[in-house]
Amino acid sequence: MVYVEVPKFTVKKELIKLPSKRTALIIVDMQNDFAHPNGKLFVPTAPKTIKPISMLLKKARENKVLVVFTQDTHYLGDPEFNVWGEHTLIGTWGHQIIEELKPKIPEEIVIQKNKYDGFFGTPLDSILRSRGIEYLVITGTVANICVLHTSSSAALYGYKTVIPVDTISALTDFDMYATLRQVHFLYKGILTESRYIEFR
């Protein structure tokens, strides 16, 4: 057994006030195949994030904050199935966003993506810039995969990122800690908890 010490990172536990008109709430891949116990690639810690994500979603809707859902989307024969097996196949129950977080269409935006990164090959950056967005609150699953890849692109595109740690889920503790370390150290994102976020 090899033990690895987790480098320090800070989770900010004080009120964070974000400007409603310049902030977007990003909900990454909270789909049945990942967040429901009957899903094909179920993340056991994902259900615990539904309540805090719902709370943030309610705050965002009340304050007219832009809400964007990413939706992992695959077609028959996708090469990614060689890695993970078939999942989030378009048109299936597993592809759908979980009932508790259903987007309000057309007020809220759903970005279908076929890679880990919500920005890669999608109009996400264009949509955010056209609305003057500067801050992104990023939530969802899986922490070290789609959440981290989306967060890294967000930072590299110049957005200020906030990650509420109680709203992301991972398959292992190692994956979670590695994600938080990367966001804090490499991308200078703010780590916090959902209860400390306010939209003004």
pLDDT in tens, 58-88: 999 999 999 999 999 999 999 999 999 999 9
Assess whether 29 carries a catalytic annotation: yes
Residues 45, 51, 54, 58: what is their CA dihedral angle, to the nearest 10 degrees? -160
Phi, psi at residue 2, to the nearest 5°?
A: -105, 130
pTM, entire model: 0.96
Catalytic residue among 33, 72, 117, 146: 146
Residue 109 to residue 127: CA distance in whole angstroms: 9
Cis peptide bond prior to 106, omega within 30° of 0? yes
Written as six digits, the tokens of 188 are: 């200078």
Of 72, 113, 117, 166, catalytic = 113
Residue 102 is a catalytic residue: no
Residue 72 is among the residues annotated as catalytic for this protein = no
> How does pLDDT run across 105-157, given as a tens digit for each residue?
889 999 999 999 999 999 999 999 999 999 999 999 999 999 999 999 999 99
Single out the catalytic residue among 29, 33, 72, 117.
29
The domain limits of the chain are 16-199
Residue ranges with strand state E in 77-158: 109-113, 135-141
CATH class of the domain comprising 16-199: alpha beta
